[in-house]
Structure 1
Amino acid sequence: MKKIICSFAFLGFLTVAQAQEATVADSTSHWKSKGEVSLLFNQSNFSNWTAGGENNLSGNFLLNFGLEYAKDDWTWDNKLMASYGLVKTKNASFEKKTDDRLELNSILGKKATGKWSYSAFLNFRTQITKGYIYGKDDNGAEIRTENTDFLSPGYLTFGPGMLYKKDANLKINIAPATSKLTFVDDFYTSQNGYVDGSYFGVDANKSMRYEFGFYGSVYYKLNIMANVSAENILNLYSNYLEETKNVDVDYSLNIVMKINRYLSTNLSFQAIYDDNAFRGLQTRQVFGVGVNYGF
């Protein structure tokens, strides 16, 4: 069922992309779209290497698509980001993920004054495939335990606020009355699944957690030098209902160093602090040479 849903979502995305491509020639269109697909590759191979090492091969897929609408005092900015990566090492029993992310951001704005607009935003985040915790059995063989999946967890955050938009490269949204829903499959919170009593903040035998609080987001993109750009995305959330001082932080940095139209060196870094998921700082870094296609 999940594969069917993903397939329909992908087909819907292609339909939107094609529709937008068809309207590019129409100078009266209020829609603008821009997207890029990247494939990153990394390989290490050793033979009689006395310093040690293990043969490995990894690949990452990245999708970044933006769709914008502007007419009179209204704007509607949408951004879809997806990434997925695997690594295979010679002596490992399983392929392991190096990246897994699916995120949609949408902000509707109605001009208030100057560069400020009244806004309504929506943010959705989840992962694409199952996630595992790896370990060893009594014989030293590698084993894995399923820990996460598509929509387990899934986060839906939305609310009214104020949007400051200097230009396409600098946007700040402040939403002091934001609802946040955390979805999980109750398998992980039941006796047959996750038995710790709390799974990403969702209580035992439940499948959803509701929070109400303050949300702030910043998008800032700059050109460091010729053919080198850095995209910064920062999301902050504080729950009014409990532990207000515990601010959830999600920061992403994407640096692209273009070699030519189709080749680039890409660096992606993400840092997350969310004590409902893990009481500590989570970090992720992906670096490699990419093959890019813009549309």
Structure 2
Amino acid sequence: MSLGTLFTLVLTVSAQDAGDEDQLVDGWNNQGNFQFLFNQSAFNKDWTGGGTSSIAGNLNANIEFNYTKDRVTWENDIILEYGLTKQDTDPFTRKTNDRIEINSVYGYEVNKDDDTAYYSFFINAMTQATKGYTFKKDSLGNTIRTERTNFFSPGYLQAGPGYLYKKGSFLSINLAPSTARIIMVDDKFTSGTDYVDRSYFGVASGEERRYELGASLNAFYKLTLLENITMDNKLLLYSNYLDQPGNVDINYLAHIKMKVNDWVSAKFIFQAIYDDNAVGAFQIREVSGLGLSYTL
């Protein structure tokens, strides 16, 4: 006798002001998207195909507060993501996602008769909520873990003036040629013996901060692929003038939303990150799910 079970649940709740989402309306235009994904798989001892029982959950929230009035545009969003997974053969629960990000871009029209070009100032902050670990096997084959990251270790804060090109709510490009960036860490990560001979996310041994000055680009484009299928594209680039400006940090996110009906939707997310200070190679993640949705 063999038995295998797989259960996946995705719950999405959306709230937004009435009106066409691609048409800017004077005043505040707020919206929120909340998603919960649960995945469970189980195999009994006689399951010949092999497999490991596991349980996983992911929470995601994206809240936007946008303001448009006369010659002013002000866009703000908060992104929260957290996920955990546990396998029967692993003594530790592991994170699958952990992200806290806050963005704010203020723009003032260059010309009152042109609502696409703005002088701008932006702020971006990123970190994670809980400890992150690296895992390896000891000489006896047991899994051991070592703390690698924590809340604001690392933490990123960058800000600067620039130029914003904006077309409705589906296209925006913000170029800031004078962007200040601070990388913050707990000095316990830079003072230990494991980090004496190298930097920790770019922060030197014994230090708590790294200061950078460079150029940044933040672009967003929303594309309608088919009826009820849209694709959000976000691209963030940063070059540090003070240290190897040719090593550009890249963060690209593609989010495809497929509306089946008023209650059911499907999503696919692809993200690629290159940060020379963190890994020096591309980090890739993919998320997909079919779920229930409710819109206010």
Identity of aligned residues (%): 46
Considering only aligned residues, what root-mean-square deviation do their CA atoms show, in Å? 2.0
3-state SS of the aligned residue for 1:202? coil
List aligned pairs for 1:46-195, cutoff 5 A. Answer: 46-47=43-44, 48-113=46-111, 114=114, 115-191=116-192, 194-195=195-196
| CA distance in structure 1 between the partners assigned to 2:122 and 2:36 by the alignment | 30
Q: Deviations over 1:208-250 (max 9, x none)?
A: 1011011001111122223322211100011111101111101
Residue 37 in structure 1 maps to residue 61 in structure 2: no
Query: Amino acid of the residue matched to residue 93 of structure 1?
Result: P
Q: Tell me the equivalent position of 2:11.
A: none
Would the aligned equivalents of 2:26 and 2:68 in 1 still touch at CA under 8 Å? Answer: no
Q: Deviations over 1:36-74 (max 9, x none)?
A: 101122232333332321112211111011101111111
Could you tell which deviates more after superposition, 69-78 or 225-234?
225-234
Change (3 A) 1:228 1:45: farther
| Greater fraction helix | 1
Would the aligned equivalents of 2:71 and 2:108 in 1 still touch at CA under 8 Å? Answer: yes
Cα shift at 1:128: 1.3
Change (3 A) 1:157 1:234: same
Would the aligned equivalents of 1:41 and 1:289 in 2 still touch at CA under 8 Å? Answer: no
| CA distance in structure 2 between the partners assigned to 1:133 and 1:247 by the alignment | 26
TM-score for both structures, normalised by structure 1: 0.86
Would the aligned equivalents of 1:38 and 1:63 in 2 still touch at CA under 8 Å? Answer: yes
3-state SS of the aligned residue for 1:189? helix
Change (3 A) 1:82 1:293: farther
Query: Amino acid of the residue matched to residue 35 of structure 1?
Result: G
List aligned pairs for 1:238-249, cutoff 5 A. Answer: 238-249=239-250
Runs of 4+ in structure 1 off by over 6 angstroms are none
| CA distance in structure 2 between the partners assigned to 1:55 and 1:260 by the alignment | 33
The total of aligned residue pairs comes to 271
Change (3 A) 1:224 1:42: farther
| CA distance in structure 1 between the partners assigned to 2:54 and 2:226 by the alignment | 33
Q: Tell me the equivalent position of 1:6.
A: none
Would the aligned equivalents of 1:254 and 1:268 in 2 still touch at CA under 8 Å? Answer: yes
TM-score for both structures, normalised by structure 2: 0.86
| CA distance in structure 2 between the partners assigned to 1:107 and 1:235 by the alignment | 14
3-state SS of the aligned residue for 2:281? strand
| CA distance in structure 2 between the partners assigned to 1:212 and 1:269 by the alignment | 29
Q: Tell me the equivalent position of 1:228.
A: 229
Query: Amino acid of the residue matched to residue 256 of structure 1?
Result: K
